């Protein structure tokens, strides 16, 4: 469309015209025909205002752009934080689940190890102690079993077996008294081991120690009456020995062995008649059977016996005045004793016999002349305590 303007008016500058065209294109608004005459100053003012508004809009756009970007950045950061938190929560949940699974696995392994330990004797201990060495000491009043001390052992365990029976002793000490467990004589088997702490495994049992438990026979209880020694039978005794001595502290000698198997055993002490007269201290001992787990008893309490003997009276006593000699026959079996000769009831002569023959001849010439002899008395002389003197013989004078 062509527009014509009055020649009296000036035409619109070309740059103003282009500006309005741009504004028209942007706002899609229709402007009045540029050919219509308008006030030039008004047009210029509007043009200036339009440029001013456009410049302000441009400036506002420049100013608002960073704020919009900040909002968008904050929004993006918030979304990223939320995503990060969700990711961390997922990772935390995953870590907890992983930890639970790990603990469950470890528990399962421990349970399996414990079961294997119970079934197969396996042990999660660190060090196994060496087996101990057993020693047994039989004292006069008790029997003790011991092992070498181990600082790493919490408990010392001792096992005592006899036949099918078995006893176990646990102690904090490396030695224990086992007398009360040795109830019968026989062969006992003794073993020991160390019981360790949580850091050490129990040791193996020691090698078996074979201990022969012997029981001493009971000492006989003796009585002495009318020259007869008696005692009750001792169980498991095979025989009895009778000992004697001349003093409580003197050496003992075997007088006899008695093997009569009766409830009451006796021994007649007339057997001492062949022994020297005097006081004797008698003891009886029970003798165990060979190859048994019994030992001979201690000696019984002492029984005191006075062996009193009377000397035999000399026989066939004669006096020969011509030779001034006395002869006699002796029947006494005692090796040593005295012959007492009393002349005229006043003079006493002692003749000591020492293993001489039973025929005795004594010359009185060294002591007295034949013509002075009026009487002679002869006897075997004792001490009159344990060895009594014989009867006196009055010798007939020719």
Shared fold status for 127-213 and 310-395: yes
Q: Which class would CATH give 216-307? A: mainly beta
Q: Which residues, in sequence order, are CB contacts of 281 under 8 Å at separation 6+?
A: 244, 245, 246, 247, 248, 250, 302, 303, 304, 305
Tokens of 31: 């402007």
Tokens of 198: 């949580």
Q: Give the distance, in angstroms, between the CA of residue 338 and the centroid of all CA atoms in the same chain.
A: 71
Residue 73: its pLDDT value, please?
54
β 336-343/347-354 pair status: antiparallel
Residue 131: its pLDDT value, please?
95
Spatial distance between the Cα atoms of 145 and 135, rounded to a whole number of angstroms: 6
Helical (H) or strand (E) element with 85: helix 40-120
Cα separation values, 364 from 255, 353, 367, Å: 42, 16, 5
Provide the CATH topology of domain 310-395: Immunoglobulin-like (2.60.40)
- 282 φ, ψ (degrees, to nearest 5): -110, 145
Spatial distance between the Cα atoms of 295 and 267, rounded to a whole number of angstroms: 23
Residue 22: its pLDDT value, please?
63
Residue 136: its pLDDT value, please?
95
Residue 98: its pLDDT value, please?
78
CATH 2.60.40.10 fits 127-213, yes or no: yes
Task: Count the Cβ atoms, other than its own, within 10 Å of residue 367.
Answer: 15
**pLDDT per residue as tens, the chain (398 positions):** 444 444 444 555 665 666 656 665 555 544 444 444 444 444 445 544 555 545 555 455 444 444 444 445 555 556 666 666 666 666 555 577 777 888 888 877 767 666 665 555 544 546 889 999 999 999 988 999 999 999 889 999 999 999 999 999 999 999 999 999 999 999 999 999 999 877 788 999 999 999 999 999 999 999 999 999 999 999 999 999 999 998 888 889 999 998 877 778 899 988 887 788 889 999 999 999 988 999 999 999 999 999 888 888 999 999 999 999 999 998 877 777 899 999 999 999 998 887 656 788 999 999 899 999 999 999 999 888 888 999 999 998 86
Q: pTM of the full predicted structure?
A: 0.53
Paired with 354 in beta bridges are 336
Spatial distance between the Cα atoms of 320 and 365, rounded to a whole number of angstroms: 11
Residue 175: its pLDDT value, please?
96
Spatial distance between the Cα atoms of 371 and 39, rounded to a whole number of angstroms: 227
Residue 398: its pLDDT value, please?
66
For the chain, give every domain's residue range.
41-99, 127-213, 216-307, 310-395
Residue holding tokens 């000036």? 10
Residue 15: its pLDDT value, please?
59
């Amino acid at each position: 469309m062509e527009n014509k303007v009055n020649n009296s008016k000036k035409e619109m500058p070309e740059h103003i015209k282009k500006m309005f065209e741009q504004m028209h294109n942007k706002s899609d608004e229709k402007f009045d025909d540029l050919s219509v005459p308008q006030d030039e100053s008004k047009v210029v003012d509007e043009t200036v205002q339009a440029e001013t508004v456009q410049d302000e809009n441009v400036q506002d756009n420049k100013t608002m752009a960073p704020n919009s970007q900040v909002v968008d950045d904050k929004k993006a950061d918030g979304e990223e934080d939320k995503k990060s938190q969700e990711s961390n929560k997922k990772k935390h949940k995953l870590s907890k689940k992983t930890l639970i699974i790990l603990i469950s696995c470890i528990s399962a392994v421990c349970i399996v190890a414990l079961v294997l330990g119970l079934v197969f004797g396996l042990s999660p201990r660190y060090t196994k102690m060496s087996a101990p060495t057993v020693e047994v000491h039989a004292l006069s009043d008790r029997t003790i079993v011991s092992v070498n001390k181990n600082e790493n052992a919490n408990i010392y365990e001792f096992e005592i077996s006899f036949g099918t029976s078995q006893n176990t002793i646990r102690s904090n000490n490396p030695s224990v008294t086992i007398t009360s467990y040795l109830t019968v004589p026989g062969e006992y088997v003794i073993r020991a081991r160390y019981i360790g702490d949580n850091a050490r495994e129990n040791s193996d049992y020691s090698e078996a120690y074979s201990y022969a438990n012997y029981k001493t026979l009971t000492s006989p209880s003796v009585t002495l009456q009318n020259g007869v020694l008696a005692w009750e039978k001792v169980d498991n005794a095979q025989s009895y020995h009778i000992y004697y001595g001349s003093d409580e502290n003197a050496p003992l000698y075997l007088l006899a062995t008695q093997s009569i198997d009766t409830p009451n055993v006796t021994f007649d002490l007339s057997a001492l008649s062949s022994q020297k007269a005097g006081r004797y201290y008698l003891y009886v001992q029970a003798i165990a059977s060979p190859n048994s787990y019994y030992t001979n008893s201690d000696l019984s309490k002492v029984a005191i016996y006075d062996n009193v003997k009377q000397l035999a009276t000399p026989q066939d006593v004669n006096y020969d005045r011509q030779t001034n000699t006395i002869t006699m026959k002796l029947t006494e079996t005692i090796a040593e004793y005295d012959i007492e000769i009393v002349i005229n009831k006043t003079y006493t002569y002692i003749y000591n016999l020492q293993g001489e023959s039973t025929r005795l001849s004594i010359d009185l010439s060294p002591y007295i002349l034949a013509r002075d002899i009026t009487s002679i008395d002869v006897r075997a002389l004792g001490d009159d305590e344990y060895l009594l003197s014989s009867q006196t013989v009055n010798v007939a004078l020719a």
